[in-house]
């Protein structure tokens, strides 16, 4: 049983929610029917499946999102669903270059912004392994669109990729110069050295996942010194197998150390979770208190990216 907790003013927060993993099940069915394809029986994440298998699930959802209208629709529905769940601070992220079979990358960015209609911030994702010039193009696209509040490096590194984390320093440096927010998927079951590189080379203000943070005290000190925020996604972390269970997530330990952290869904469809349910699960982590839960929500509001 979790801690008895009622969110204070401002409601829930979610700063790490992927568009291509957060469609409504009914929308998946409608888009699949229109495309003449079957929805896979094993589309959703399952505990311990591994990051590679989890990332492969996006191939199907992405195939349904190859038109600006579909992206616009899903972005709008995500905002509606978040509001209905009591989320007061929301950021949506996606990799528009993966949708551009039906048009140019800026067209899909504008479609997402149209769907959001000012109800959430939009983050543009590059992917581990892509050429840094792809990230540079996303930063350029963001520069003239205040509704785009940040950029991200998503996915995960593999041994076959030519480009490494530090190779993306150029576009992230440009984002820093332009006042665009910067977050990086790092240390999701991988060495915490990724967090150091993301902070020192990519000017990361936030880290997605970061589950191995406590394995290197020097990285913990760097995170504390720079005030970096960890975007925790416990249900997703359990499903991809980087933590044994949500109750064993280091979230409470991070808070005890003074680490700034917020809690997020990652993918409402694929992880089959809402913000309210994610917070309920987190409340059962040993050492969790009502004060800590409120700190998670306060951090989510304070860490949201802002563009002038």
% of the chain surpassing 90 pLDDT = 95
At residue 103, does pLDDT exceed 80? Answer: no
pLDDT at 2: 84
Rg of the chain taking only CA atoms, in angstroms: 18
Classify the C-alpha dihedral 188-193-194-195 as positive or negative.
positive
Q: Coil, helix or strand for 90?
A: strand
At residue 104, does pLDDT exceed 90? Answer: no
Mean pLDDT of the region 26-39: 98
pLDDT at 3: 86
CB-based contacts of 114: which residues, under 8 Å, 6+ apart? 72, 75
Strands in 148-154's sheet, in edge-to-edge order, are: 12-18, 87-94, 121-127, 148-154, 181-186, 206-209, 229-232, 260-263
Ranges of each domain in the chain: 12-303
Q: Coil, helix or strand for 182?
A: strand
Mean pLDDT of the region 237-262: 98
Q: Do 212 and 189 meet the contact criterion of CB atoms below 8 Å apart?
A: yes
pLDDT at 1: 64
At residue 15, does pLDDT exceed 70? Answer: yes
pLDDT at 308: 67
Over the stretch 186-223, which tens digit does the pLDDT of each residue have? 999 999 999 999 999 999 999 999 999 999 999 999 99
Superfamily of domain 12-303: Metal-dependent hydrolases (3.20.20.140)
Q: What is the mean pLDDT of the chain?
A: 97
Write the DSSP string, 50-68: -HHHHHHTHHHHHHT--SH
Q: Is 153 exposed, middle or buried (0-12, 13-18, 19+ CB in 10 A)?
A: buried
At residue 41, does pLDDT exceed 70? Answer: yes
* Cα–Cα distance list, 203 to 86, 175, 180, 223 (Å): 31, 9, 11, 12
pLDDT at 8: 82
* Cα–Cα distance list, 118 to 89, 107, 113, 308 (Å): 11, 17, 7, 14
pTM score, whole prediction: 0.98
CA dist 236 and 266 (Å) reads 7
pLDDT at 101: 72
CA dist 72 and 112 (Å) reads 5
Torsion of CA 305, 190, 242, 205, to 10 degrees: -10
């Amino acid at each position: 049983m979790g801690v008895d907790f009622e969110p204070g003013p401002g409601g829930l927060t979610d700063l790490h929610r992927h568009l291509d993993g957060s469609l409504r099940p009914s929308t998946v069915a409608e888009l699949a029917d229109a495309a003449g394809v079957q929805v896979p029986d094993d589309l959703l994440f399952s505990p311990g499946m591994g990051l590679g298998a989890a990332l492969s699930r996006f191939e199907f959802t992405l195939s349904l999102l190859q038109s600006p209208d579909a992206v616009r629709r899903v972005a709008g529905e995500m905002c509606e669903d978040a509001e209905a769940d009591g989320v007061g601070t929301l950021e949506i992220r996606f990799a528009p270059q993966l949708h551009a079979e039906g048009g140019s990358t800026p067209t899909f960015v504008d479609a997402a912004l149209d769907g959001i209609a000012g109800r959430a911030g939009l983050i543009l994702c590059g992917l581990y392994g892509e050429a840094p010039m792809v990230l540079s193009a996303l930063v350029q696209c963001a520069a003239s669109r205040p509704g785009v509040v940040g950029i991200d490096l998503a996915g995960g590194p593999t041994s076959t990729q030519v480009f490494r984390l530090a190779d993306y320093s150029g576009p992230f440096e440009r984002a820093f110069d332009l006042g665009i927010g910067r977050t990086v998927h790092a240390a999701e079951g991988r060495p915490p050295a990724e967090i150091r590189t993301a902070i020192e080379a990519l000017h990361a203000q936030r880290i997605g996942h970061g589950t191995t943070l406590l394995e290197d005290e020097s990285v913990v000190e760097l995170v504390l010194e720079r005030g970096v925020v960890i975007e925790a996604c416990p249900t997703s972390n359990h499903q991809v197998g980087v933590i044994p269970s949500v109750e064993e997530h280091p979230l409470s330990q991070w808070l005890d150390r003074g680490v700034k952290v917020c809690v997020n869904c990652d993918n409402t469809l694929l992880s089959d979770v809402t913000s309210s349910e994610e917070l309920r699960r987190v409340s059962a982590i040993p050492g969790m208190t009502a004060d800590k839960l409120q700190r998670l929500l306060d951090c989510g509001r304070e860490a949201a990216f802002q563009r002038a």
